[in-house]
C-alpha cells in the first residue's frame, strides 16, 4: 500500500512540475520572428539615455536621531536636446528632494538636486529617489545610512572638573 501511495504522489508531482515548465516552444516560428522584430524595433526607436548622475548612491554614515541631513546630487545632460526634470520623487515622506523645477538643462550642462533626510527613527535606512525626465525616462539614486538614538537627557555635570581648575 505504501508503494502505491508513493508512486501516485511521485507521478502527480512529476506531472505538476512538467506542466509548469516553460521550456517548450508553444509559439509558432513565424510568431517568434515577429516578436523578435518588434523587440529590435523598440530598441532602435527608444530615446538614448540623456541624463548622467555624478553619483548614484550616497552614504550618510551614522546620523544622530532628530538631526536632518542633506546631500547634493549633480545631474548632467549627456543628450543632444535640452530638457527639464519632470519630477523627483522620494519613496517616503522622510526624504525630501529639492530642485529647480523651471530650469532647462541644455546639452552638456548640469543641475543640482538636494536630497534631505529627516532622521527621526533609529536604525539603518536605504531610500530610493526617482528622477523622471523627457516625459517617461527615469533614473534612480539612493541615500543610505544609519540613525543612532541620542540620549534623552544631557550628560550629568562632572564634579571632578572643579578639582582640576584648582
- Structure confidence at residue 120 as a pLDDT band (50, 70, 90): confident
DSSP state letter for 91: S
Grid cell of 14 as nine digits? 512529476
Mean pLDDT value of segment 101-112: 93
CA dist 79 and 150 (Å) reads 46
Asked whether residue 13 carries a pLDDT value surpassing 60, the answer given is no
Considering only residues 121 and 55, tell me which one the structure prediction assigns the higher pLDDT: 55
pTM here is: 0.62
- Show Cβ contacts of residue 64 under 8 Å, excluding neighbours closer than 6 positions: 119, 147, 148, 150
**pLDDT score for 107:** 93
Considering only residues 21 and 147, tell me which one the structure prediction assigns the higher pLDDT: 147
Considering only residues 99 and 4, tell me which one the structure prediction assigns the higher pLDDT: 99
Q: Give the pairing of strands 51-53 and 69-77.
A: antiparallel
Grid cell of 8 as nine digits? 501516485
Domains of the chain in start order, with CATH, are 51-148 (2.60.40.10)
φ/ψ region of 14 (left if φ > 0, alpha if ψ in -120 to 50, else beta) reads: alpha
- List pLDDT tens digits, range 131-161: 999 888 999 999 999 999 877 766 677 777 6
Instruction: Read off φ and ψ for residue 116, nearest 5 degrees.
Output: -105, 150
* Residues 150 and 64 sit within 8 Å (Cβ to Cβ): yes
Cα–Cα distance list, 59 to 6, 63, 116 (Å)? 55, 10, 13
Helix (H), strand (E), coil (C) string for 28-77 = CHHHHHHHHHHHHHHHHHCCCCCEEECCCEEEEEEEECCCCEEEEEEEEE
- List pLDDT tens digits, range 23-77: 444 444 444 444 444 444 434 333 557 899 999 999 999 999 989 999 999 999 9
**pLDDT score for 15:** 52
Amino acid at each position: 500500500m505504501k508503494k502505491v501511495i508513493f508512486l501516485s504522489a511521485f507521478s502527480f508531482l512529476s506531472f505538476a512540475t512538467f506542466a509548469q515548465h516553460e521550456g517548450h516552444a508553444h509559439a509558432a516560428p513565424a510568431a517568434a520572428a515577429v516578436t523578435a522584430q518588434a523587440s529590435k524595433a523598440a530598441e532602435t526607436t527608444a530615446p538614448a539615455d540623456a541624463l548622467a548622475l555624478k553619483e548614484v548612491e550616497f552614504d550618510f554614515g551614522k546620523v544622530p536621531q532628530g538631526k536632518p541631513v542633506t546631500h547634493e546630487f549633480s545631474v548632467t545632460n549627456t543628450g543632444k536636446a535640452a530638457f527639464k526634470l519632470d519630477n523627483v520623487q522620494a519613496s517616503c515622506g522622510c526624504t525630501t528632494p529639492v530642485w529647480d523645477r523651471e530650469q532647462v538643462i541644455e546639452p552638456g550642462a548640469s543641475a543640482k538636486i538636494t536630497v534631505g533626510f529627516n532622521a527621526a527613527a533609529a536604525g539603518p535606512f536605504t531610500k530610493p529617489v526617482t528622477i523622471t525626465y523627457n516625459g517617461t525616462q527615469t533614473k534612480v539614486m539612493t541615500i543610505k545610512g544609519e540613525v543612532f538614538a541620542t540620549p534623552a537627557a544631557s550628560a550629568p555635570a562632572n564634579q571632578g572638573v572643579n578639582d582640576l581648575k584648582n
